Amino acid sequence: MSLEGRISINLATTRGAWGFAEAVDGCLRHGITAISPWRDQVHAIGLKEAVRIVQTNGLKLTGHCRGGMFPADTLEGRQANIEDNKRAIDEAAAMGADCLVLVVGGLPGSSKDIGEARKQVLEGIAAILPYAQAQSMPLAIEPLHPMYAADRACVNTLRQALDICEQLGEGVGVAIDVYHVWWDPELEAQIARAGKMGAILAHHICDWLVPTRDLLLDRGMMGDGVIDLPRIRGWIEAAGFHGAQEVEIFSQDNWWKRPGDETLATCIERFNTVCTR
In contact, 68 and 103? CB cutoff 8 Å:
yes
Q: Which of 48, 34, 41 is nearest to 90 (CA)?
A: 48
Contact segment (CB under 8 A) with a second copy among 4-12, 22-30, 69-77, 150-158 equals 150-158
Residue 88, helix vs strand vs coil: helix
Burial 260-270 (b: 16+ CB within 10 A, else e): beebbebbbeb
Report the alpha-carbon distance of residue 240 to residue 154 in Å, rounded.
27
One character per residue 97-136, x = contact with a second copy (rule: CB under 8 A)? ----------x----xxx---x------------------
Residue 158 interacts with a second copy (CB under 8 A): yes or no = no
Name the residue nearer to a second copy (CB basis): 235 or 241: 235
Residue 66 interacts with a second copy (CB under 8 A): yes or no = no
Contact segment (CB under 8 A) with a second copy among 5-13, 28-36, 144-152, 252-260 equals 144-152
Query: Strand 64-68 to strand 100-103: parallel, antiparallel, or no bridges (unpaired)?
Result: parallel
Name the residue nearer to a second copy (CB basis): 58 or 115: 115
> Residue 159, Cα to own-chain centre: how many angstroms?
17
Residue 156 interacts with a second copy (CB under 8 A): yes or no = yes
In contact, 95 and 56? CB cutoff 8 Å:
no
Name the residue nearer to a second copy (CB basis): 52 or 119: 119
Least CB distance to a second copy at residue 111 (A): 8
Query: For residue 14, what is the DSSP state?
Result: T
Residue 226 interacts with a second copy (CB under 8 A): yes or no = yes
Q: Which of 78, 81, 142, 149 is nearest to 115 (CA)?
A: 149
CA angle 59, 63, 66 (to 5 degrees): 130
Least CB distance to a second copy at residue 148 (A): 9
Residue 73 interacts with a second copy (CB under 8 A): yes or no = no
Q: Interface with a second copy by CB under 8 A: which residues? A: 107, 112-114, 118, 145-147, 149-151, 154, 156-157, 159-160, 182-185, 208, 210-212, 215, 225-228, 231
